[in-house]
Structure 1
Amino acid sequence: MSEKEHTGSCHCGEIQFKIITDFAEITTCDCSICRRKNALMVKVHESKFTLIQGKNFFSEYQFHTHTAHHYFCSKCGIYPFHRKRVTPDYYGINVFCLAEFDPEGIPIRATIGAGMK
């Protein structure tokens, strides 16, 4: 798949963003927060992520090493993306927040976050 621009948002639309990606793969994670939010994520470099609006609606959550930054909408509660722990210059984007996106046919890789120290 070639790189394309995709737009996304939280449920209420207060947070809106766009990304550019080729969807080489999407990932799951078994860490304590990812298990609970059950998102499928695509990894996008910060240079291919643009926040269109909504920074004032960010609610941020950090845990364990306080390296990753998990963002939620303070109005609707949806998790649209996070700054990654191991690669902080990348975002993990919740693909279910992308407009008109179907993950069918894209390889899914399970990452092991529960054992990270």
Structure 2
Amino acid sequence: MAEVETHTGGCHCGDVVFEVDTDLSMVMECNCTHCFRTGVWLTFVEPSAFRLLKGEDAIQEYLFNTRKIRHFICKTCGVETHGEGAGPDGKVNIAVNVRCLTDIEPFSVAPTMRYDGLHTI
């Protein structure tokens, strides 16, 4: 089992900065119309494992389809840093865009699970 570590991340322009505690053992690639087009890779954590350090006023919320997942996007550079929604069990979690982590080698992490969001919704 991978070890939980604290990672730093943020948007492209630096207006949004966060920390997240995760082991990156499950990184999901979804093919829904939003995730596929924006290229996000997601890891899911409990809300207590995610800390927005900077940029609450720089974030724009985006909702689509069933409007149940809140996507958070930097108003300045347009990068989606994270989202929030309930899992199948009803428990709220934070979906962190792994491609926004600034303290890891970009090609050291690859999706470990593909999710067919396109045909699930």
TM-score, normalised with respect to structure 1: 0.90
Number of aligned positions between the proteins: 117
| Distance change in 2, residues 1:114/1:77 (3 Å) | same
User: Is residue 98 from structure 1 mapped to residue 104 from structure 2 by the alignment?
Assistant: no
Unaligned runs of 5+ in 1: none
Unaligned runs of 5+ in 2: none
Deviating above 2 A after TM superposition, structure 1's stretches of 4 or more consecutive aligned residues are: 84-88, 102-107
User: Is residue 109 from structure 1 mapped to residue 109 from structure 2 by the alignment?
Assistant: no
RMSD, aligned α-carbons: 1.7
Question: Percent sequence identity over matched residues?
Answer: 28
- What is the distance in 2 between the residues matched to 1:107 and 1:30? 12
- What is the distance in 2 between the residues matched to 1:76 and 1:16? 13
Greater helix share, structure number: 2
Contact 1:39/1:96 (<8 A) preserved:
yes
Residue matched to 1:51: 52
